[in-house]
Each structure stands twice: as structure tokens, then as C-alpha cells.
Structure 1
Amino acid sequence: MTEQHNLHQRQQLLVKILTFLSNGGNFDQAKQLFDQEFANVDVAEITAAERELIANGLDPREIQKLCNVHVALFKDAIAPGKPTAAFDTPGHPVYTLKLENKIIDSLINDELLSCLKKWQQDGSENDYLKRMRHALKDLLTIDRHYARKENTLFPLMDKYGITAPPKVMWGVDDDIRGYIKKACQLVDQQPLPDKYVIEAAVEKAAQEVLAMIVKEEDIMLPMLAEVATPADWARVRADEDSIGYTLISPPINWQPTEQELADAANKPTNSALGQQFNEIAKQLAATDAQVNQITQRNHQEPAANLPVDPQARIDLATGQLSPEELIAIFKLLPVDLTFVDAADQVRWYSDIPDRIFPRTKSVIGRSVYNCHPPKAQPKVKKILTSFHEGTSDREEFWFSLHGERFIHLEYIAVRREDGTYLGCLEVGQDATYLRSLKDEKRR
């Protein structure tokens, strides 16, 4: 039996087991079948199997619901990734992510759950309730940890054709944000709800966060370690500070050494695991033309920043501006701007100091659909389809963000004078202050 044939058999067996679970099959039976057939399994095989389920029509949100089940099924058999010295260097994105995870783990186990247990045992002890409230507010800052992952690591996974894990993981991230927010609301509610209601909400949030740590470190990072280059990690590091960190100070700057860059240049493009995963991904992508095109396009390195002639002028029909003037103006506008071209690829965003939603340079050239969590993708698809077909030119939304900011969003079709579709301009504005204005103030 050839190695390729054996790989195909393993893949189909994994798909069979995951399909059995997605159809409501018994976990113990699935675990027994897995243990009989597999001594170990690579993270690439797991994610490729999940991707095949998605390619065959399973909603990514269904895999999202089973994500913890998949981790429990495979956890003891996952082959460890190869250690990389740079990952243990302060300032490296992997080092930073793991450091945050250690602190988050300690916050949950040593403070939040410990205080919950003591509060349950002694309901008159308000100090434990106060500490739980404080711990949950600290846990809310995990949003920055997830936002950094979604805006720097997910684009890197897209670049190498690893498209299924981000779809699933982003949806789980959003669920976790909701679980933590719910727990915060319950412990702040007056009068307090039943103790067991609070206990269930706090434990649910804690369990999901801890499970995500396993997914990040045992599945996502080993896969990235197989395909990402030192130059890739340098680009990730360059984008991190604009998003922020969870429960740690901004790390020191990190850059790959000349030796690391030289070693990477002499290394084959894909390791055995990378080749294995990408071969499976190519076969699956044959039925998914959009993903295949994105993968090929994103494999190209971004162009270097070229020097701009300070004397150059850009004709804007109603006047001329230099590139320097144009960039400065965009940075001062009180709105977030993002432009998505006619191929639904992100091409530009305004780099203002306090964006409503974070953007990094890694997003440039990425499919706009992969820049949104799974639950939002159908709505994005509907809007852009209506723009492409010419049945709509504008969509408008407004909502409260974290109960503190009132956000107004517009999606506007950009067209030539003859109606040809050029792309979509997203305009976001924090309208909290504007809503508070009263009476008049004239010049």
C-alpha cells in the first residue's frame, strides 16, 4: 500500500468518525473506534477532515458546536509539533500568546473558580463575590487576545490554504465573548440571581476559555509552526501592538535573526506535514474554486513599500493632493474606512488611531468573507451580492457596542459613472458623542 493511499484511508476514517459525531453519535463509541485505528494523528489530518465536512455541505457552525468534542477525542493522540527556538524568545508572537494563556489560566483556576467555590460555600462572604466580579472584568479583556489572533494569525493561515480552522475557531471565540459577558452581567445584577445560575454561567465561560487554550496551543500553533516563515512572524509582530494585549504589558520588539532568515531560505517550502496537509487541501479545494484562488493569490509575498516622490500629486478631480497629505487626511477623519474591491478582496483601510474594529496589514488581499466570523458571513454575502447584481447600493446598521458606544455602519457600493461595480466602501463611526449633543452651537 502506497503512503498516499494510506493517507487517504486515514483521512476517510477520520471523516467517518467526525460525521458519526456530528449526527449525534455516542462519544465513547467514536473514541473506541479512533483508539483502535490510530496510534497518533497530526493536527493537519484533523483540520483537513473538518474541512472536508465543510466542503461536503456541513455548516461550519455545526463543527463549532462539536469543537470541544473533537479536542477531547483527539487530545491524547495529537503528535507534538517540532519545537522552534524562536517561539521561546520574549517578543515572538507565539511566546506572547502562550504567556497570555498562562496568565488567563491562572486567573481562571487560581482566582475566579476558587472564589466561586468559596462564595458558594459561604453566601454571606461578599469579598469573594467582589473578587469574582473583578476577575470576570479582567477576563473580558481576552477580547484583545482573540482579536489579535483573528487579525494576524488567521490571515497567515489563509495564506497557506489552512481555511477550515479559522472559520470554526472564530465562531467559538465569539461564543466565548458572549459567555463571559453573560457571567459579568449576572454577578452585577441586583438583586443577585440564584447562586446556581451564576455558578453555571461562570463555569461555562471558564471551561470554554480553557478549552480554547488547548485548541490554540495544541492545534493552531503546531500547524502554523510547520508552514510559517520567520518573515511571516515578523509581519505578525509588526501588527500586534495596534490591537493590544490581554493582562500583560506590550512585549519587547522581536525580529528574526539573520541566521533564522538564512535557514528559512534554504529550507524546503513545505515540511512533510505541510505537504501532507496542503495536498489534502488542494484535493478538497478542487470543489471550492474561491478558496483555491485565494490560496494561490495569498501565497505571493506582499510588495515592499516603495518610496514615494514627495513632489508627486494625485489628481482627485476636484483638486490635487500629495500622498503625504492624503494619508494625513485619512488619519484624521472621524470614521473608519475599509475598501473591498470587485473581487471581494480587502484592498485598503484607513489607519486612524482608535478604530472601532481592528485592522492589520495582514488583511490586505484577503477575502472579505474570511475577515468575519461564520455567523456574520451570510449577511456579508447577501450585501455584496446585491451590490454586484445592482439591486442595492447602500446598507446601513446601528447598534450598541459593549453597552458603552453607539456605532453606525454603512456599506456603500462604489461604481463607475456607467454603473460598473468597483467595490464596497465600509464606513464606521462611533456616534456616541453625536447622540449626546443638544440644542445648538453655531460658529
Structure 2
Amino acid sequence: MSDTLNTMKLPEGHPVSVYYQEKEIINSLLGELLAVDAKAELQKYTNIFNQLQTIEKRFARKENQLFPFLEKKGWNGPSQGMWSFHDNLREQFRLLRKNMDAKEFDKINSDTPFLVDGINRLMNTEDMVLFPNSLNLLAEEDWISMRKGEEEIGWMLPETPTPFPAVEYVHPSEDFTKREMTFSLENTSHYDEGYMTVEQVNLLFRTMPLDLTYVDENDKVIFYNRGDERVFPRSAGIIGREVKFCHPPKSVGTVLKILEEFRKGTKSESSFWINFKERLIYIRYFAVRDADKNYKGVIEISQDITDIKKIEGEKRLLDWE
């Protein structure tokens, strides 16, 4: 850790402590990547490269967990500058992967040091600016809440980090926690076409084969569904966050243009499709309006349609056997 953080004894499992556990792994992988000759040992280079690319989990935790807490304290710099740095590194990973697939060894040898240098510069900025300022700005309850959201994204570590705060044993005779009991049908709410309990609504959203995010009329994220296989990472830190901070800086202008036209009533739908991790992703935005046509926000829906596009003809029979 930097001298600033060395003087602060962070408990095990603290999000910043975990970032530094990951840093040790990253430093080791960077050294190994520079030492291996990609042309002579392509498989070894590929294995190290694949491990290093799991740094995406670190980027996602910062973007979706740490940065939103800093925004609430008025520090928006990391959400803009450092997120752009992340995207630059993502592009370097992509180009290197392309060169690996094409066995362009000269390009691999020339591009690898740039990737290593970029990651080192990023971690130096974390040491000197991001983490010390974050520790000064955020309270313990912020870190506890942040850690809960990190569970959904994951870490570069081989095992789940130590819980934070440490779990203390409570004897059953001293446990007075009120827990949710089995729901009753009397707790249902009436929707346009039927009745469902809160649990059933949550199960419905979790089972839907698509990512859904709801941004209200004030441009704040108020809901996302938590499916088992999301296309894009989301975590609890996004709730209450301004939508302009929920997208990479390079796409913020497009998102804000969509919101502007939806709010004016000139448009009600916008669609995009992109290639992401060798899958075709269909992204759609829909304006939400009440019965009087008042603007109530926007729904963003993302769906992996790679396999859907391959469908031809008809299928009328069950083929499980």
C-alpha cells in the first residue's frame, strides 16, 4: 500500500483492503506477462492474459459501487476520468486479444508493455489519489453497504474475501432479529391484470431473460432486475445514482439525447445492437408515460439475442428426450 494507507490499519474484508489483495495478484501477473515470449509460448501467454483480464471485475466494482458513493459526497471526478481510463485499458485488452487470435506476434510484443504500463499508472493513481480520498470521504456504514453490493460483481481473488464487518456469533437466546415469514396471499397487490405478492414480483423480474433498468423522471436509477446471468454488471450502488454516471463517458451524450427527446415527447423508443464478448446484444430504451401522457422516466432493456437470431423455420414439438 502507499505510505498514506500503510498508516491506516484496515480490517480484513474492507473493500479497500480487498483492492490491495488484488493488486498483489495483478503485479505478479504483469511481471509474468512481460517475461513470457508470446511466440515461443503462446498458450502460457494466453493463460496469463486470461487471468489478468479478470481485472474487469475490479473495474466493474469501482464503477458500480465505489464511484456512486463518492458521487453522493460530491466527488464526481473518478466517475468521469478514471472510468475513461478503464475503457482505454479495455480497448487495449481487446486489441491484444485480436492480435493473439491472428498470431500477430510482433504486435503482441509491442502492445503488451503499453497494457502493463497503463495498468501500473492506474494503480498508482488509486494509491495516491482514489483510495486515500475515498477513506477520508466515506464513513464505515458506506463501506459496509458497498461491500454488500460487491458480492454481486465478484473479485479477482481465488476465494471470497473475509466478510466485512466480521460476523459475530449471536446465541439464539440473545437473537431478537425480526425475520420475514412465509408470505400470505393476503399480502398481494393489485396490478392492471391480476394480483401478485412482492416476492412473486421479484421472482418475475429475476427470471426474465433480459436486463431491465428503470430511470425515473428526475434521471435517477430507481430499479434494476437481478437476473442470474446479466448482460452488463449492476449492483446495489446504482440505486439513486444519476443515469449519466451509469454509462461510460463516451456514450453519455447519446443517453442524455435520448432522455431529452423522451422528456419533450418527440420520441418514445430508441434501439441499438452491439457485439459484446462475442455475443449480439440488443439494447432498447422506452419512454414511460402515465395515463395523461406525463413523462415518468425511461426503461432500458438489454437482451442477448445471439441464439434468437439463429432461429429458422418452426418448432412445435417438445424435444427434451
Q: TM > 0.5 between the two?
A: yes
Establish whether residue 185 from structure 1 lines up as the match of residue 92 from structure 2.
no
Establish whether residue 415 from structure 1 lines up as the match of residue 298 from structure 2.
no
User: What does 1:306-325 align with in structure 2 at a 5 Å threshold?
Assistant: 310=184, 311-325=186-200
From 131, 134, 158, give the equivalent of 1:221: 131
Q: Secondary structure at the match of 2:214?
A: strand
User: What does 1:43-442 align with in structure 2 at a 5 Å threshold?
Assistant: 80=4, 83-85=7-9, 87=10, 89-109=11-31, 111-116=32-37, 126-127=40-41, 129-189=42-102, 192-193=103-104, 195=106, 197-255=107-165, 310=184, 311-403=186-278, 405-442=279-316
Displacement of 1:172: 0.7
Deviations 1:357-396 (A, max 9, x none): 1111111111000111211110111111110111110011
Displacement of 1:95: 1.4
Q: Secondary structure at the match of 2:307?
A: helix
Change (3 A) 1:243 1:216: same
Displacement of 1:247: 4.6
C-alpha separation in 1, matches of 2:98 and 2:192: 52
Displacement of 1:198: 2.2
Question: Does structure 2 conserve the Cα–Cα contact (< 8 Å) formed by 1:409 and 1:427?
Answer: yes
Deviations 1:235-254 (A, max 9, x none): 11111121112253221322
Displacement of 1:144: 1.0
Change (3 A) 1:211 1:346: same
C-alpha separation in 1, matches of 2:302 and 2:226: 13
Question: Does structure 2 conserve the Cα–Cα contact (< 8 Å) formed by 1:137 and 1:184?
Answer: no
1:422 counterpart letter in structure 2: K
TM-score by length of 2: 0.89
Single out whichever of 207-216 and 428-437 deviates more from structure 2: 428-437
Displacement of 1:257: 8.5
Deviations 1:172-222 (A, max 9, x none): 101101101211221221xx3362x32221111111111111112221110
1:112 counterpart letter in structure 2: L
Question: Does structure 1 conserve the Cα–Cα contact (< 8 Å) formed by 2:57 and 2:153?
Answer: yes
Question: Does structure 2 conserve the Cα–Cα contact (< 8 Å) formed by 1:98 and 1:217?
Answer: no
C-alpha separation in 1, matches of 2:162 and 2:105: 45
1:95 counterpart letter in structure 2: S
Q: Secondary structure at the match of 1:413?
A: strand
1:361 counterpart letter in structure 2: A
C-alpha separation in 2, matches of 1:347 and 1:158: 16
C-alpha separation in 2, matches of 1:134 and 1:324: 42
- Per residue, is there more helix in 1 or in 2? 1
Displacement of 1:83: 3.5
Change (3 A) 1:316 1:383: same
Q: Secondary structure at the match of 2:187?
A: coil
Single out whichever of 305-314 and 198-207 deviates more from structure 2: 305-314
Displacement of 1:319: 1.4
2:285 counterpart letter in structure 1: Y
Q: Secondary structure at the match of 1:378?
A: helix
Displacement of 1:409: 0.9
Question: Does structure 2 conserve the Cα–Cα contact (< 8 Å) formed by 1:136 and 1:183?
Answer: no
**Aligned-residue identity in percent:** 31
Structure 2 residues without counterparts, runs of 5 or longer: 169-177
C-alpha separation in 2, matches of 1:307 and 1:385: 41
Q: Secondary structure at the match of 1:344?
A: coil
Q: Secondary structure at the match of 1:80?
A: helix
The structure 1 segments of at least 4 consecutive aligned residues displaced by more than 6 Å after TM superposition are 305-309
2:163 counterpart letter in structure 1: N
Q: Secondary structure at the match of 2:36?
A: helix
1:442 counterpart letter in structure 2: R
Aligned residue pair count: 305
C-alpha separation in 1, matches of 2:236 and 2:250: 24
C-alpha separation in 1, matches of 2:246 and 2:229: 19
Displacement of 1:434: 1.4
Question: Does structure 1 conserve the Cα–Cα contact (< 8 Å) formed by 2:99 and 2:105?
Answer: no
| RMSD (Å), alpha carbons | 2.2
C-alpha separation in 2, matches of 1:246 and 1:79: 24
C-alpha separation in 1, matches of 2:155 and 2:65: 13
Q: Secondary structure at the match of 1:400?
A: strand
Q: Secondary structure at the match of 1:351?
A: coil
C-alpha separation in 1, matches of 2:262 and 2:105: 49
Question: Does structure 2 conserve the Cα–Cα contact (< 8 Å) formed by 1:133 and 1:188?
Answer: no
Deviations 1:271-319 (A, max 9, x none): xxxxxxxxxxxxxxxxxxxxxxxxxxxxxxxxxx997974322221211
Change (3 A) 1:307 1:96: same
TM-score by length of 1: 0.65
Change (3 A) 1:225 1:256: farther
Change (3 A) 1:99 1:82: closer
Question: Does structure 1 conserve the Cα–Cα contact (< 8 Å) formed by 2:288 and 2:297?
Answer: yes
C-alpha separation in 1, matches of 2:75 and 2:115: 27
Displacement of 1:438: 2.9
The structure number with the bigger radius of gyration is: 1
Match of 1:49 in 2: none
